[in-house]
Amino acid sequence: MAHTANPKIKRALVSVSNKEGIVEFCDSLSKNFGVEIISTGGTLKTLLDAGVEAIDISQHTGFPEIMDGRVKTLHPKVHGGILSRREIDQQVMSENEIKEIDLVVVNLYPFIETISKKETTLEVAIENIDIGGPSMVRSAAKNNLYVGVVVEPYDYKKILDEISLNEGSLTLETRRNLAAKAFSHTANYDAAISSYLNEKQGKIPQYLFGKYELKQELRYGENPHQSAAFYTNTSQLHESSISSAEQLQGKDLSYNNIADTDAAYECVKTFSEPACVIVKHANPCGIALGNNLKEAYERAFESDETSAFGGIIAFNMELDNETARQIIENQFVEVIIAPGISSKAQETLSSKENIRVLDTQILGKPDNGSKLLSVNGGLLLQDNDIASLSIEDLQIVSKRKPSEEEIKDCLFAWKVCKYVKSNAIVYTKNNQTIGIGAGQMSRIDSAKIAASKAIERGFKTQGCSMASDAFFPFRDGIDAAAEIGITSVIQPGGSMRDQEVIDAANEADMSMLFTGIRHFRH
């Protein structure tokens, strides 16, 4: 089919929620290229108030906006003008007095921004579902052979530059690229709506749609030969997380930096007292509480100084200058993340310009949403593990009752255990990790590694507590703990050999607590 390769833009339909740059863009279209501007509602008012010539959509269609603006662009003179095939639809266009629309400039009602506000009701969310906007965008994108469509303000300058170079037109390549972007725009919009409505109903969705926007391309993935990128969840930008954090200084974050920082920050969120979490290669190597942030850091660092080298450090309070100085004196660090960085701490850290410093502004709570894991040919979806535990939830199954101090240590160890790769064993004393065994194929190996780390660091293991993320299938893990003086154990329970394990604890005069909750982390 023959067609005009690059049709001149004579008429543009403009209706935008995000009005950034729209006045300057439309003013240039009108004055420099003689483009007739058709517009709607708030966009029209913005243009007219700024002195930009524009025609009301109702004047163009001969039909008023109705239902409080719900129906204003759903009209044949709009969609016929956008969808017309220039060489074969001229007769029907003439018969119905439909004018061609060559450029559609539309971005949608701020649905995602609206639902990100916790006070938003379902009724308000529904009213922020755009109908006319996506229809116009899709129509223009479909008819990209003749029509350009613009959905992002940052494209305005590129559009104007190209129109100027091409005597008032866009190239077919540009129109096709804009169309692809437009369909991505509406797909993401529809996905957000679908996900929101499913979540409101408490349903697992039939289909999973993307709600993710490219934040940055990364130098590489886990290894230099792997390409990688970082995407943010557009419906959770208000959450306090690695995704919303502002980087104050340092080199670009790597794939591994992002993964480890997420693990550290989500862990530190679970504590209300001043806390520090140090992560190395996806596992905590030191976690501790303190009377202040500096003390918490020093105790976390003391837990495993060797592994902390080149680690990720997360705090649950604003980083102060004293703590920042201590970090620099103690170790090489890849990333520091905290809900606030004091001005003096920033100044101190600036002396080490390669340290990546991230500010999340507020601490927030552990995310109660869902987690995705890709597998070959598919995705796994599950709720985030936000299960909590109180003293009242504990079941004492041993003959010896735990002391108050042991209960506190057990509960601390249990929180830590949730963020350690399975099989996970954690030894603690006085709200400090002294040995962590992670990611082993057998639980006894994890227990032995945790013990060896504690002993290697010179910690006194007598009277310490132990947590296991899952039940003990055999008594050997308890026997290994007894050998180094562990006196209290917290674990889910539920093994066929529970009684055998309890008997081992009783033989060693240990207290044992069952949680009824498992914390596998793969």
Q: Catalytic residue numbers?
A: 142, 281
Rounded Cα gap, residues 112 and 186, in angstroms: 12
Q: What is the amino acid identity at position 436?
A: I
Q: What is the DSSP letter of 169?
A: B
Measured between alpha carbons, how far is 314 from 337 in angstroms, rounded to an integer?
Answer: 5
Judged on CB neighbours under 10 Å (0-12, 13-18, 19+), 309 is: middle
Instruction: Please give the Cα distance from 340 to 331 (Å, whole number).
Output: 21
Determine the Cα–Cα distance for residues 84 and 71; give it in Å rounded to an integer. 21
Q: Could you give the count of Cα atoms lying within 13 Å of 273 in the half-sphere of its Cβ?
A: 13
Q: Are 257 and 284 in contact (CB under 8 A)?
A: no
The crossing angle, in degrees rounded to 10, of helices 293-303 and 321-330 is 20
Cis peptide leading into 423, omega within 30 of 0? yes
Q: Is the Cβ–Cβ distance between 86 and 3 less than 8 Å?
A: yes
Determine the 3-state secondary structure of 86 from DSSP: coil
Q: Which among 452, 453, 416, 451 has a CA at the least distance from the CA of 432?
A: 416
DSSP 236-287: -TTS-STTTPEEEESSPPPHHHHHHHHHHHHHHTT-SSSEEEEEETTEEEEE
CA distance 249 to 332: 15
Return the structure tokens found at 427: 């030894």
CB 279 within 8 A of CB 293: no
In DSSP terms, which residues pair with 427 in a beta bridge? 435, 466
* DSSP-based three-state secondary structure for 459: coil
What residues form DSSP beta bridges with 378? 375
Q: Are 221 and 227 in contact (CB under 8 A)?
A: yes
- The runs of H, that is alpha helices, within 311-387 are 321-330, 343-349
